[in-house]
Amino acid sequence: MDIKTGRNFLRSNWEKHTQFVSDQQKGLPQPPLEKPFDSDSKLYDLVSTDMINLGEVSLKEVIAKRRSRRKFKDIPLNLKELSFLLWATQGVKEIIRNGYATLRTVPSAGARHPFETYLVVHNVERLPKGLYRYLPIEHKLLLIKEKDLKEKIIDACLGQRFVGECAVTFIWTAIPYRTEWRYSILSHKVILLDAGHVCQNLYLASEAINCGTCAIGAYDQQKIDELLGVDGHDELTVYIAPVGKI
Ligand SMILES: Cc1cc2nc3c(=O)[nH]c(=O)nc-3n(C[C@H](O)[C@H](O)[C@H](O)COP(=O)(O)O)c2cc1C
């Protein structure tokens, strides 16, 4: 890859939208709104959005306070706080047009919402340490693997120790086809624009509950994808963020 190819990735290219026919236009079925899961998986209930009375602070104050935090207190997050952060970043408000799309707490090009949220839990009340996936439609957590993954996540993030020395590490993967089905070759720039909104909501929601986070773009693609058990092609990690009390 060279600089020119990299810069081209920043371009819009929407003026070329008549030059391709997307799978949606071809009438192919749309991919699921959320990654499917086995019905016999171990699921954890989260606190329902109506019951979350957190984060009721001034937006101006939170925006002014926001900064990247790389030092966290050794204090657990509780399930209500974690539920709030998951809702703020990917929470589903409505499923529209008979399952055509979800409307969430963040915007997404064409409401495609191409992300899955994985959590490496280090210190959250009532959750064993391990790897989880958020089910945004059910608002539940799916346990993938019960294991202490602190050193693995630090290693996958090029030795940035604070990424594992926190209460919980958020890892967002993209399933590109969710956006490609509609926007074909125009998808990849907007997928990353979408990701920025998700992480910004995590910054603001964290600050609102005396927690902090730091966006992580420097990581080893293969190591982190292997840790999550995703193939790196049809689903791949795009962004990471540790969260802890400050
Ligand atoms: C896309 C992106 C990737 C980043 N990657 C890292 C990272 O890998 N490690 C890190 O310590 N900070 C990372 N940061 C945080 C920036 O260093 C930080 O936002 C910047 O220094 C400005 O500080 P502030 O966020 O406190 O305003 C990243 C930020 C963004 C937006």
pLDDT score, position 111: 97
Q: Say how many Å lie between the CA of residue 234 and the centre of ligand 1.
A: 27
pLDDT score, position 18: 83
pLDDT score, position 90: 98
Beta strands in 97-229 (DSSP E): 101-104, 115-121, 130-135, 140-146, 168-174, 211-213
Protein residue closest via CA to atom 29 of ligand 1: 215
Residue 189, amino acid:
K
pLDDT score, position 55: 85
User: CB burial class (10 A; 0-12, 13-18, 19+) of residue 78?
Assistant: middle
**CA pair distance 199, 183, nearest whole angstrom:** 23
Q: Number of helices (H) and strands (E) in the chain: give both, helices first.
A: 7, 9
Which residues are bridge partners to 169 per DSSP? 120, 242
Distance of CA 143 to the CA centre of its chain: 16
Q: Of all residues in the chain, what percent are helix, strand and coil, respectively (each to 5)?
A: 35, 25, 40
Ligand 1 within 6 A of 67 CB?
Answer: yes
pLDDT score, position 25: 94
Q: Which residues in the chain show pLDDT less than 50?
A: none
Protein residue closest via CA to atom 18 of ligand 1: 68
Ligand 1 within 6 A of 160 CB?
Answer: yes
pLDDT score, position 16: 82
Ligand 1 within 6 A of 12 CB?
Answer: no
- Comparing CA positions, the residue from 215, 202, 214, 240 lying closest to residue 81 is 202
For residue 153, CA distances in Å to 17, 68, 162, 233, 243 come to 39, 19, 10, 20, 13
Does residue 164 contact residue 151 with C-beta atoms inside 8 Å?
yes
Q: Looking at the chain, how many residues does it have?
A: 246
Q: Which two tokens stand for residue 49?
A: 């959005």
- pTM check: above 0.75: yes
Q: Say how many Å lie between the CA of residue 215 and the centre of ligand 1.
A: 5
pLDDT score, position 101: 96
- Comparing CA positions, the residue from 235, 240, 238 lying closest to residue 36 is 235
**CA pair distance 182, 5, nearest whole angstrom:** 23
Protein residue closest via CA to atom 21 of ligand 1: 68
